[in-house]
Amino acid sequence: MVDQNLESKSKRIPVLAISRKVIQVISFFLINYTALELIFNTDFSLLQDIFKVLPFLHSAKGSWTVGAGLLEYSFYTIAQGEIPFFFVGVIALLGLFGGRIFCGWVCPTGFIQDLLYGLGGDTKRFSLEVDRSLKKVKNFGLIVLIVLILPLGIYRSISDIVKYDDYSDFLGNLTDNILAPISLSEFLFVTFPGVVQSIIDDVNVQVLFSEGKAWSTVLFFTYIIILVITVFWPRAYCKYLCPYGAAISFSARYSLIKLQRMPTRCPGRKECGICERVCPVQVRILDEDFSGFTGHGECNLCLECMEKCPHDAIKFKFGV
Ligand code: SF4
Ligand code: SF4
């Protein structure tokens, strides 16, 4: 029975997957509009005002940009000694009303991970326990960043400029961009193109091993390793490291947009289990509440499970 359904399903055009790819490509070019500028040899800087507050880490223009995402603005506000009610509120509302749909359909960093994953032939999965533990790493990372930036805000709010300056010196470049070291988008759209450009200009790889930049070198190769991992473990960065993913998952777990599974149509994991095998973020769909699930805020609504389910047992749900 499953085989028959699978066969008929495999003949259908994967409308959702194609739609998602089209939206990802359009988003990629709009958010990284420097690519459009290069292609059309024109100035799209007007787009900067539109895209710089989208919830991505460093949206567009590499080292030339002043664009930033909601999380950058949140950290900036904390460093100014204020509580970022507005930016955190927007992130929370996005998660509440849209879950992590940005991650699945819009985020250019997610899109690149999807492309890389397409290169690998074989999906690898961590065990349930390892996956659950690793997913906590990004939450821990976010907390560490908040703890690191908080003294700046405290010194600023009590007007202790000497301590503020001392701590700012201690943080160095992190004062202005605390997210940079753990931002894959910073690496993809700022660091990596810059390094490649230097290598092309100087015709050597000296830029990678400059004196006094050991941390940059370590980070560079760490990100290369992360990207290689992503070829086999889909969305590895999103799942385990992305600070925006960590921030939005708190409200996304209560998202009004979610999925539901109809148990009357679903024969279960032993007989089928396809949905879980295709899920890029390893949601244990069959262990989730069938009346509505968000994968504890990890589901990015890519809809792979819905499209691949041979029994059409997975549907959208809107509501609590
Ligand atoms: S549960 Fe379904 S929609 Fe959510 S991430 Fe997994 S495959 Fe995509
Ligand atoms: S919900 Fe999952 S296990 Fe159930 S029929 Fe669909 S793909 Fe198979």
Q: What spacing in Å lies between the alpha carbon of 250 and ligand 2's midpoint?
A: 27
Q: What is the rounded distance in angstroms from the CA atom of residue 227 to the CA atom of residue 242?
A: 13
Asked, for residue 248, whether it belongs to a domain, the answer is yes
> What length does the chain have?
320
**pLDDT at residue 248 greater than cutoff 70:** yes
Look at residues 154, 153, 151, 145 and name the one whose alpha carbon lies nearest to residue 174. Answer: 145
CB of 279 within 6 A of ligand 1: the answer is yes
Q: How confident is the model at residue 278 (pLDDT cuts 50, 70, 90)?
A: very high
Instruction: Taking each helix axis as running N to C, give the angle between helix 243-252 and helix 128-157, from 0 to 180 degrees, rounded to the nearest 10.
Output: 100
- Cβ pair 295, 235 in contact under 8 A: no
* Residue 168, token pair as written in the block: 């700012």
Asked, for residue 158, whether it belongs to a domain, the answer is yes
**Most ligand 1 atoms within 8 A of CB, residue of 299, 306, 308, 312 to mutate:** 299
Q: What spacing in Å lies between the alpha carbon of 139 and ligand 2's midpoint?
A: 30
Q: What spacing in Å lies between the alpha carbon of 285 and ligand 1's midpoint?
A: 8
pLDDT at 63: 39
Domain span at 129? 15-257
Q: Which helix (H) or strand (E) holds 95?
A: helix 85-98
Q: How confident is the model at residue 188 (pLDDT cuts 50, 70, 90)?
A: confident
- Cβ pair 242, 110 in contact under 8 A: no
The pLDDT tens digits of the residues spanning 62-74 come to 433 444 678 888 8
Helix (H, G, I), strand (E, B) or coil at 258: strand
Whether the CA torsion 244, 245, 250, 251 is positive or negative: it is: positive
Asked, for residue 304, whether it belongs to a domain, the answer is no
- 203: which residues sit within 8 A by CB, 6+ positions away? none
Asked, for residue 147, whether it belongs to a domain, the answer is yes
CB of 311 within 6 A of ligand 2: the answer is yes
pLDDT at 170: 92
CB of 306 within 6 A of ligand 2: the answer is no
For the chain, the domain total comes to 1
Residue nearest to atom 6 of ligand 2 (CA): 309
**pLDDT at residue 292 greater than cutoff 60:** yes
CB of 110 within 6 A of ligand 1: the answer is no
Q: What spacing in Å lies between the alpha carbon of 111 and ligand 1's midpoint?
A: 15
Asked, for residue 148, whether it belongs to a domain, the answer is yes
Helix (H, G, I), strand (E, B) or coil at 113: helix
Look at residues 149, 181, 180 and name the one whose alpha carbon lies nearest to residue 167. Answer: 149
Q: State the average pLDDT over residues 176-201.
A: 80
* Residue 203, token pair as written in the block: 């015709």
314 forms beta bridges with 261
The type of residue at 94 is L
Asked, for residue 6, whether it belongs to a domain, the answer is no
pTM recorded for the entire structure: 0.85
What are the DSSP E strand ranges found in the chain? 257-261, 314-318
Asked, for residue 266, whether it belongs to a domain, the answer is no
* Residue 169, token pair as written in the block: 């010196």
Look at residues 133, 134, 139, 131 and name the one whose alpha carbon lies nearest to residue 279. Answer: 131
Asked, for residue 111, whether it belongs to a domain, the answer is yes
The pLDDT tens digits of the residues spanning 47-103 come to 666 555 444 444 444 433 444 678 888 888 899 899 999 989 999 999 999 999 999
CB of 309 within 6 A of ligand 1: the answer is no
Look at residues 201, 146, 141, 280 and name the one whose alpha carbon lies nearest to residue 193. Answer: 201
